[in-house]
Structure 1
């Protein structure tokens, strides 16, 4: 079990929320991800502790940049924050929270959180704007679309250039056909095991996701089958994970 100091440092490093609408240049945006793999039987307690932390942040109006949260169907909770460079990781975590909340109370809070999981991960991913397809502007939180499907496309170093080429071909087809399904592409960075692209697709709910997927498949037709087949033929492994955004666990400081 980690000490309070290490725990608050890790969380403080990542709780730097990205702007809802990201810059439209093609430079990659780095994100620090903290992932808690919560025990299935402890999900309720874990969320209660997180919301208690959130309420203390609001009560004391802690002036860090805030955070957004995603949780997946397999009880993983991902806290994602934008970073400009590695120097951002030196910023003070939860400035003033321990003093305002009380060090013992804060330590007890994180102690309760630590009991809810045995595994946690920290890693970096990069939003690849060149491969992402969002004609209306790249946003991580499309209004009214909290459901998520995360598609993980793993590849070997040998196939790195080829897979990128095939990903570009997929986007080009979406553009040519005027697809109504948009997506964001992230590539793996520091702290990840192996290389992958993660494709995030937002929808209102599972039914909306399924219906829009079927409509898009018809739109892309045989051309879609061809370009996707060429991409799939160069992958090492593929995983699909359902999740949802958790605005009830997000934080944004008031002015």
Structure 2
């Protein structure tokens, strides 16, 4: 069976795969891993809430309540993004300049000073009922591996659909995995591919070492159309690179979802 050769279609077809710094969270929602100004090595704190399906409506209502409170009490130097995947996991991302930022005043503490402690902490006590699992880890943008040609260096407006892939590998295969992804990026550049993607590497707090590949589109159909076009463009050479990459993976995870601009808040 012929395999796809785009970074997302190839990963999709792979057959060999299958408490928290909470005070930093939920205070300004923009768009996960979407248009944010980042350096080549931008560090981001990621928080994940595994929301109970039965509590989704209440959870989102509380998020919107937080948004309204922030609008009435603007915060300083707080930017976050939110993404919901198909498994009802909510991911929140905060760009940070260093780990020391996490030792400073939290956004919740800042909001509590402005809006009142009892009001703010009551909101988050109610939110705690909506999930049993929370996780926190660091991601670092990797422009050496990301492919963002020309005007596609930022995600286009309206492209809120996402496919995310986690490529896990053992330390002994770290260099080999990176080499294959560099080769794939070079092929995309040489062929003039329009199928841009961003790659992030895991940092402190991740359960294992992985690279996160993110691809954006307007919807599932738009994603498939782009994938098909790149499959034809990259041809057998792209297929060979991806097959070599597959051989070096230890585990692979894929999930889809959407950005939530309806929850977006920008602070001062």
- Whether the TM-score (by the shorter chain) exceeds 0.5 is yes
Equivalents in 2 of 1:163, 1:155: separation in Å? Answer: 8
Provide the aligned length of Structure 1 versus Structure 2.
Answer: 246
Say if 1:156 and 1:14 are closer, same or farther in 2 by CA, change over 3 A. Answer: farther
1:172-207 deviation line (CA, Å, top 9, x unaligned): 111111111100001111001111111000000011
Equivalents in 1 of 2:56, 2:181: separation in Å? Answer: 36
Could you say what the CA RMSD is over the residues aligned between the two structures, in angstroms?
2.3
Say if 1:52 and 1:15 are closer, same or farther in 2 by CA, change over 3 A. Answer: closer
1:25-36 equivalences in 2 (<5 Å): 27-36=40-49
Q: Aligned match of 1:196 in 190, 210, 214?
A: 210
Residue 176 of structure 2 is aligned to residue 162 of structure 1: yes
Equivalents in 2 of 1:107, 1:28: separation in Å? Answer: 34
Equivalents in 2 of 1:174, 1:241: separation in Å? Answer: 23
1:12-51 equivalences in 2 (<5 Å): 20-23=36-39, 27-51=40-64
Unaligned runs of 5+ in 1: none
Residue 194 of structure 2 is aligned to residue 180 of structure 1: yes
1:88-167 equivalences in 2 (<5 Å): 88-94=101-107, 96-136=110-150, 138-139=153-154, 141-167=155-181
Residue 86 of structure 2 is aligned to residue 73 of structure 1: yes
Equivalents in 2 of 1:13, 1:122: separation in Å? Answer: 16
Residue 228 of structure 2 is aligned to residue 214 of structure 1: yes
Equivalents in 1 of 2:137, 2:185: separation in Å? Answer: 26
Equivalents in 2 of 1:204, 1:61: separation in Å? Answer: 31
Residue 100 of structure 2 is aligned to residue 84 of structure 1: no
TM-score by length of 1: 0.89
Aligned to 2:251: 237
TM-score by length of 2: 0.85
1:42-64 deviation line (CA, Å, top 9, x unaligned): 11111110110010000112223
Equivalents in 1 of 2:30, 2:256: separation in Å? Answer: 24
Tell me: higher relative CO, structure 1 or 2? Use CA pairs within 8 A at least 6 residues apart.
2
Indicate conservation of the 8 Å contact 2:26/2:63, yes or no: no
Unaligned runs of 5+ in 2: 1-18
| 1:14 positional shift | 9.4
1:62 is paired with a residue whose SS is: coil
